[in-house]
Amino acid sequence: MKLNTKTITFLGLGVLPHLIFAQIGIGNANPSPANAMEINTAEKVIIDKTGKIGVGVAAPKTAIDLRNGANGSMAIGMTNQTAVEAGAGAMRYNPNPAIGVQGYIEYSDGTVWVPILPYGKPRIVVMAEKTNNNSTVFETGLWPIGNYTDGIPGRSSAYLTSWTEKLDSDSGQPRTNFDPATGEFIAPRAGVYFVTFTFALAPSQVNTNFGQNQTEAIWEVRNSSDTVIQRIKTNNGYPQDTGNPPNAVIVGSASTASLYLNAGDKLRPFVWINVSWDPDKRPLLNTGGYNVLTIVEQ
């Protein structure tokens, strides 16, 4: 026997108890014998005899089958449950995973919530600040190749080292793409990266009657074999002379670029300065906020 909505009402009153295992139709007097329940709406909803649910699908093949070819989307929301509480296999939509990151779907592996690739954009975000004078001269220049801690060597190519990492994430998930000890970033995948790097020297005179003033912030890109691919310099790193003391000023520079990096490419900031008549080293302005870098995957 096939049941309509009136029959279901009778069942609720205890009438026809011998029919509780028959097919149930809501808005449908003749449900298919293959299904335990059919609900006629704009999209027919069925529960077959194995417990599979289909929405607009005549023969569901999974526990919930929405593949009707027109309106087959599924909506899920956010939960404040931990991944442990929700259990392995649970899913949620995280609308605010991190500052500047769009929402994305996560699943629970039973321990943590794991974002589903390709995550939300922007993906990689690195932020770091430097408040010390540590640097490494890496090419032959006025100063010997080696490490320095008491200022930036003049007229020498020097990596800035010993950064304080503020953020190294992939859509809010902690990563280790940036090495704060060396200042080197390694691209985990190919893509376009927007990068900016600024530095400032402590206030002092700028006197170069013996040469051109120069403060250059430079991004260096090496491939996975450590071969230099490109160097991006600034175009505003040439301060004017200040004259004799006490005309102390802050000078520095910045380098901003959009770079295409292959997976495994290495990105690192370095400086080249010439702001004094002698070969003395110049300390950075280390009060915070002057010597910073950011890397954002586009």
- Report domain extents, the chain: 38-63, 79-117, 124-297
Give the residue among 101, 297, 269, 298 at the shortest CA–CA distance from 187: 297
pLDDT of residue 45: 81
**How high does pLDDT run on average in the chain?**
84
Neighbours of 59 (CB within 10 A): 12
Range 124-297 classified under CATH 3.90.700.10: no
> Which of 205 and 197 is assigned the larger pLDDT?
197
**Cα 210 from Cα 199, distance rounded (Å):** 24
pLDDT above 60: residue 7: no
Token pair listed for 242: 């200040």
The reported pLDDT for the residue numbered 12 is: 45
- pLDDT tens-digit map of 66-90: 787 777 777 889 999 999 999 999 9
Please state, as a whole number, how many other Cβ atoms lie within 10 Å of the Cβ of residue 18.
7
For residue 146, what is the DSSP state? E
User: Which has the closest alpha carbon to 193: 217, 181, 177?
Assistant: 177
Most confident of 160-164, 241-245, 294-298: 160-164
| Least confident interval from 190-199, 208-217, 250-259 | 208-217
pLDDT at 19: 43
Interval 227-253 mean pLDDT: 86
Q: Indicate the range of 1-5, 57-61, 144-148 predicted with least confidence.
A: 1-5
DSSP H or E run through 139: none
Q: What is the pLDDT of residues 144-172, one digit of tens each?
A: 999 999 999 999 999 999 999 999 998 77
Predicted structure pTM score? 0.67
Report which residue type is found at 177.
N
Listed in sequence order, the residues at least 6 apart from 39 whose beta carbon sits closer than 8 Å to its beta carbon are 25, 26, 27, 28, 45, 46
Is pLDDT of 260 > 80?
A: yes
Backbone conformation region of residue 14, classed left if phi is above 0, alpha if psi is from -120 to 50, else beta: left
Q: Is 180 exposed, middle or buried (0-12, 13-18, 19+ CB in 10 A)?
A: middle
**Residue pair 98/169 in contact by the 8 Å Cβ criterion:** yes
Residue type, 24: I
Token pair 């790193």 is found at 237
Asked if the model's pLDDT at residue 119 lies above 90, the reply is: no
